[in-house]
Amino acid sequence: MSPAVAVSNREEATSRAVATSMLSPRFYRTDYAALDRIDVTPLRKEWQTLLDEFRNDGNRNHFERDEAFAGEVRELPPELFNEFLDFLISSVTAEFSGCVLYSEIAKNIKNPEMRELMRFMARDESRHAGFINKSLKDYGLNVDLAQLTRDKKYTYFAPKSIFYATYLSEKIGYARYIAIFRHFERHPEKRFHPIFRWFEQWCNDEFRHGEAFALLLRLNPHLLRGGNKLWIRFFLLAVFATMYVRDHNRPQLYEAFGMDPTEYDTKVLAITSEITKQVFPFTLDLDHPRMRAGLDRLSRLNLAGLAARERGGLSGHLKRFACAAGMGLEFARLYFLPTRPNEAPQDVRLSPAW
Ligand SMILES: [Fe+2]
Ligand SMILES: [Fe+2]
């Protein structure tokens, strides 16, 4: 099920980015005073090493186009083009969401260590969003980022929810970028747009952002124990399921990649889950047969709900409601599946060059 309405101008691209849906990336606000109180002293050495990496800024010149770029942008069949635009718009929104969150935190706190970190991450996300937006601009469909900042609805998250959600988003972002890059290394003939050539070094930024949140979690060990384990489980499932459902909503895109979305997502979830052992006291059992069946059911219900929305009318409305309720129930079932304990969280640093 491709996105129902094709985007044909900048205003429509911006509206698509501004719109809030169950699967679209969101913008966040948080409790800045609580972040101000974070003391990095217990992990000063690790903090310095990480901040030095940010200062060195290895990707300083990476987000610039080379001479071959323009010649590699080709015309795509309409359905694929529609899904590729949806992919770019949702990616630019997600990258810019990080930029807005990190800049707002930097602006609203006085803690010099936290402020420096947030400024570095905002710098990176701003480059990422800008680079994707340039590709949208080639088609005259770039998102108005100033309007997006103004008009997008903001969701309030307590700092711990920001930590869990952002840690997972950054690590899953890393795994997605590198998995796509490696796929096109094996199948260069399938690479239908030059932007994918940038994903290898790009993934290092996301990996490092994830490392920053791993440190923030380790600085607050109470967030990894007791009742907070229920929140960790919730965010693991929410982030993983959202990706699975969204990717299965873009069949033409994955066909053009020459990839099976289920295989791709299985690999991305396995990499991400392995990395999270560095902080989380357990992982989801991704190999549990009911986990796979449940994710597929969520995806089918989502597609049926979208089809019902297009059909409209009372029956469409009722069907949509039934699908949403079914998704809620399935999510709850998956939430209560047994997890795999990870007794000794350790500093797992998978090489970004994986
Ligand atoms: Fe990014
Ligand atoms: Fe990031």
**What is the enclosing helix (H) or strand (E) of 188?**
none
Encoding tokens for residue 100?
Answer: 């807005």
What is the CA(177)–ligand 2 centre distance, in A? 11
pLDDT for position 109: 96
What is the CA(128)–ligand 2 centre distance, in A? 8
Encoding tokens for residue 232?
Answer: 């960790």
What is the CA(126)–ligand 2 centre distance, in A? 10
What is the CA(299)–ligand 1 centre distance, in A? 26
What is the CA(205)–ligand 1 centre distance, in A? 7
Q: What is the CA radius of gyration of the chain?
A: 20
Ligand nearest to the CA of 121: 2
Strand pairing of 339-341 and 282-284? antiparallel
Selection from 161, 306, 300 nearest residue 230 by Cα: 161
What is the CA(204)–ligand 2 centre distance, in A? 9
pLDDT for position 255: 97
CA-based max dimension of the chain: 61
Ligand nearest to the CA of 212: 2
Ligand nearest to the CA of 102: 2
Tens of each residue's pLDDT in the chain, 354 residues: 455 567 889 999 999 999 988 788 899 999 999 999 999 999 999 999 999 999 999 999 999 999 999 999 999 999 999 999 999 999 999 999 999 999 999 999 999 999 999 999 999 999 999 999 999 999 999 999 999 999 999 999 999 999 999 999 999 999 999 999 999 999 999 999 999 999 999 999 999 999 999 999 999 999 999 999 999 999 999 999 999 999 999 999 999 999 999 999 999 999 999 999 999 999 999 999 999 999 999 999 999 999 999 999 999 999 999 999 999 999 999 999 999 999 766 655 544 545
Are the C-beta atoms of 122 and 99 separated by less than 8 Å?
yes
What is the CA(35)–ligand 1 centre distance, in A? 21
- What is the phi/psi pair of residue 79, to 5°? -65, -40
248 DSSP assignment: T
What is the CA(114)–ligand 2 centre distance, in A? 16
Quick one: CA torsion of 192, 67, 170, 155, rounded to 10 degrees?
A: -90
Query: Which residue bears the tokens 């970004």?
Result: 352
What is the CA(4)–ligand 2 centre distance, in A? 29
Whole-number Cα distances in Å, 89 to 15, 56, 97: 10, 30, 12
Query: CA-to-CA distance for 18 and 24, rounded, in angstroms?
Result: 9
What is the CA(5)–ligand 2 centre distance, in A? 29
Query: Which residue bears the tokens 């020459």?
Result: 258
Ligand nearest to the CA of 128: 1
What is the CA(141)–ligand 2 centre distance, in A? 23
Query: CA-to-CA distance for 245 and 253, rounded, in angstroms?
Result: 14
CB within 8 Å of 120: residues ≥ 6 apart: 51, 54, 55
Are the C-beta atoms of 163 and 108 separated by less than 8 Å?
no
What is the CA(87)–ligand 2 centre distance, in A? 17
As beta bridge partners, residue 341 has 282
Distance of CA 66 to the CA centre of its chain: 26
Whole-number Cα distances in Å, 296 to 8, 116, 136, 286, 292: 32, 42, 31, 13, 6
What is the CA(285)–ligand 2 centre distance, in A? 26
Ligand nearest to the CA of 210: 2
What is the CA(125)–ligand 1 centre distance, in A? 4
As beta bridge partners, residue 284 has 339
